[in-house]
Chain A
């Protein structure tokens, strides 16, 4: 079974600075999807960024970018120019292509605090 590990329960960063959240995963598949989700106090899971394993280029979405190291099975999230609204729980997730769209395996999350 696939597993996703987030080894940083909590992280903090000064407003406007850069922070990197770590994620490692385990799979025997060669093709899969990786995601970072944000969960603010409203509890709704919001997709931040998505990476397809067959793409060598790292995904970017505005201030959010990933460092995808397929051989190392590592998928870190970098948040640049941190803003107060970035404070939330961040979850790394894996999707097995054999199960279609829906079955996501999540890590245990990293709580990100933004210091004004």
Chain B
């Protein structure tokens, strides 16, 4: 049983470019959340997708957007990249109806903005 998978593992972009990160949830999970982890910091919640809609959002600008597909996989898009967007981006999945269900995290995508 595959866990949460993220691609790519590493990515290098330049300022002003756009980037798309991908996440496949653990089998049986229907909810995907994205977190940004800057160097030396804890992860920060970006947003959560369920039933192909954004359900919750953290304190991130509109440059950060996402999508969830019918197969529950998800994409995180970041437009007009800034140097400060350099971070590890973590995807986590869970089952919505499982109130006590723990989150399963992927190994992340390391984004470097030059």
Contacts and interface: CB of A to CB of B under 8 A. Distances in A.
Our verdict on whether A and B bind, yes or no, reads yes
Interface of A: 4, 42-47, 50, 91, 93, 99-109
A21 B99 CA distance: 27
A43 B10 CA distance: 12
A106 B98 contact: no
Contacts of B42: 4, 91, 93, 106-109
B111 interface: no
A52 to B, nearest CB: 8
A42 B90 CA distance: 12
Contacts of B101: 101
B70 interface: no
**Which are the 7 A-B pairs with shortest beta-carbon distances?**
A106-B42, A45-B105, A102-B33, A102-B48, A44-B107, A43-B108, A43-B107
B103 A43 contact: no
B61 interface: no
B25 to A, nearest CB: 12
A44 B106 contact: yes
A92 B44 CA distance: 13
11 contacts: A43-B107, A43-B110, A50-B102, A93-B42, A99-B56, A101-B94, A101-B99, A102-B94, A104-B43, A104-B45, A109-B41
A91 B48 CA distance: 20
A39 B101 CA distance: 19
A43 B92 CA distance: 13
A46 B106 CA distance: 9
B68 interface: no
A108 B40 CA distance: 7
Contacts of A93: 42
B15 interface: no
Nearest to B4: A44
A107 B31 CA distance: 23
A100 B51 CA distance: 15
B58 interface: yes
